[in-house]
Amino acid sequence: MTTVLEQRPERLPITTACKVLGLNRSSVYAWRRRKAQGASAPRRSRIDAVQPRALTKQEREEVIATLHSETFRDQPPAEVYHHLLEQNQYLCSISTMHRLLRQHKENGERRQQRPAQHHAVPRLLAHAPNEVWTWDVTKLPLIQRGVYLSLYVVLDLYSRFVVAWMVSKKENSALARQLMNEAVLRYDIDPGQLTLHQDRGSPMIAHGYLEEMMALDITCSHSRPRVSNDNPFSESQFKTQKYQPDYPGRFDDIPRAQGWCEGYFDWYNYQHHHSGLAGFTPEQVFTGRYTAVAQQKQQALDARYAQNPERFVKGRPKVKLPPEWVAINPLLDDDGDLIADHVNFPTLTAAGYRAEK
């Protein structure tokens, strides 16, 4: 390479030649200087050069033996370094200990660690109302700074209908049990019919709450830790709520919060044309009234199409119906089609319970 470089035409700049040959221009200049000084061989890399201040082989073996000893085998280098100094011993610096451990592939955490936790991916599927409910708790701030109320909301997955809600000063499993019992009685849920999905907050994994769900024969499913999109429908409902134009931001007291929430959930269930339901309200899908409403919408579209067909460039309009199924983390093939007809299954909780259908 260097011979070719020296034989280049004078009109060709060395920068261009180095770029074509894949050489570093600074390295070429350094090679020229060494050649002018009479160097017959290329200089060794600093990485390969022996450091004059480096530990000897015997000293390195002594350091490794000390780190492997019964006293220090589970201690970090900094702990070993300071302990030896107190004993009037100095082997090497802390960074050198780390470097020697890296050479032996031992520079990770030296203490016993909790093994990695593997949590099942919650996969829930609903073809009709009252098959899967999801619930969560959000905070409603009061005017008094630092004081919050807890809003419990239980949502039907298929229809997005809010089947139960409650405002409380506290967030605990006793209130969750009370709310679920009332909702199950109100909607006449049969044993083994319902799957209940939630995150891993303290009320959701409490022993008393899980035992109550087992007594009601309700399958409990839990989100994975620190995975926010495992309970997306409840989170989306809370965003809809807190982005309402009349949302006060802070409430005066519990009665004011309950009054506002009562009006909001009445609107959400009966008047809110949900984009995820093709423009139908949660109540229409929950009760099945959407079929009659769809016929009414279709009649209005047909009448307008008969009057002005030229305005509908894609042909006769057709009312879009709500999806046939709604799922959380569904199993899909490459074409986006559902693989499993039924994917609901219980997930282990911190309390160790598993509800069986």
CB 344 within 8 A of CB 218: no
Q: Which of 40-44, 95-99, 246-250, 292-296 has the lowest mean pLDDT?
A: 40-44
Q: How confident is the model at residue 119 (pLDDT cuts 50, 70, 90)?
A: confident
**Cα(1)–Cα(13) distance, rounded to whole angstroms?**
16
Give the SS3 label for residue 206: coil
Q: List all residues 6 or more positions away from 337 whose beta carbon is below 8 Å from its beta carbon.
A: none
Residue 357, pLDDT score:
35
Which residue reads 């480096």 in tokens?
54
108/189: higher pLDDT: 189
Work out the mean pLDDT of the chain and round it to a whole number. 88
Judged against a pLDDT cut of 70, whether residue 234 lies above it is answered with: yes
Residue 343, pLDDT score:
63
Q: CA 2 → CA 10, 27, 112, 212, distances in Å?
A: 15, 11, 55, 82
Amino acid, res. 56: T
Q: How confident is the model at residue 292 (pLDDT cuts 50, 70, 90)?
A: very high
**Cα(146)–Cα(74) distance, rounded to whole angstroms?**
43
Q: Which stretch, 264-268, 330-334, 337-341, 342-346, has highest mean pLDDT?
A: 264-268
Measured distance between the N- and C-terminal CA atoms of the chain, rounded to whole angstroms: 75
Residue 94, pLDDT score:
94
Judged against a pLDDT cut of 60, whether residue 41 lies above it is answered with: no
44-76, pLDDT tens digit by residue? 556 556 678 889 999 999 999 999 999 998 899
Q: What share of the chain in percent tops pLDDT 90?
A: 67
**Cα(332)–Cα(339) distance, rounded to whole angstroms?**
5
Q: How confident is the model at residue 354 (pLDDT cuts 50, 70, 90)?
A: very low
**Domain residues of the chain, as ranges?**
2-36, 64-103, 120-357
What is the DSSP track for 337-357? -BS-S--------TT------
Asked if CATH classification 3.40.718.10 holds for the domain at 120-357, the reply, yes or no, is: no
Alpha helices in 206-277 (DSSP H): 207-215, 232-242, 254-270
pTM > 0.95: no
Residue from 153, 159, 100 nearest 262 by CA: 153
Angle, helix 57-67 to helix 94-103, in steps of 10 degrees: 90
Q: Which of 40-54, 261-275, 279-293 has the lowest mean pLDDT?
A: 40-54
Judged against a pLDDT cut of 90, whether residue 208 lies above it is answered with: yes
CB 221 within 8 A of CB 346: yes
Residue 209, pLDDT score:
94
Residue 47, pLDDT score:
58
Which residue reads 């609901």 in tokens?
344
Angle, helix 57-67 to helix 77-86, in steps of 10 degrees: 100
What is the DSSP track for 82-111? HHHHHTT-----HHHHHHHHHHTT--S--S
Judged against a pLDDT cut of 80, whether residue 38 lies above it is answered with: no
Amino acid, res. 217: D
113/142: higher pLDDT: 142
Query: Rg (Cα) of the chain, in Å, rounded?
Result: 35
Helix, strand, coil percent content, the chain, rounded in steps of 5: 40, 10, 45
Q: How confident is the model at residue 353 (pLDDT cuts 50, 70, 90)?
A: very low
Dihedral of CA atoms 84, 88, 92, 94 in degrees, nearest 10, equals 40
Q: How confident is the model at residue 5 (pLDDT cuts 50, 70, 90)?
A: confident
Q: List all residues 6 or more positions away from 147 whose beta carbon is below 8 Å from its beta carbon.
A: 141
Average pLDDT over residues 145-165: 96
Amino acid, res. 245: P
Residue 1, pLDDT score:
61
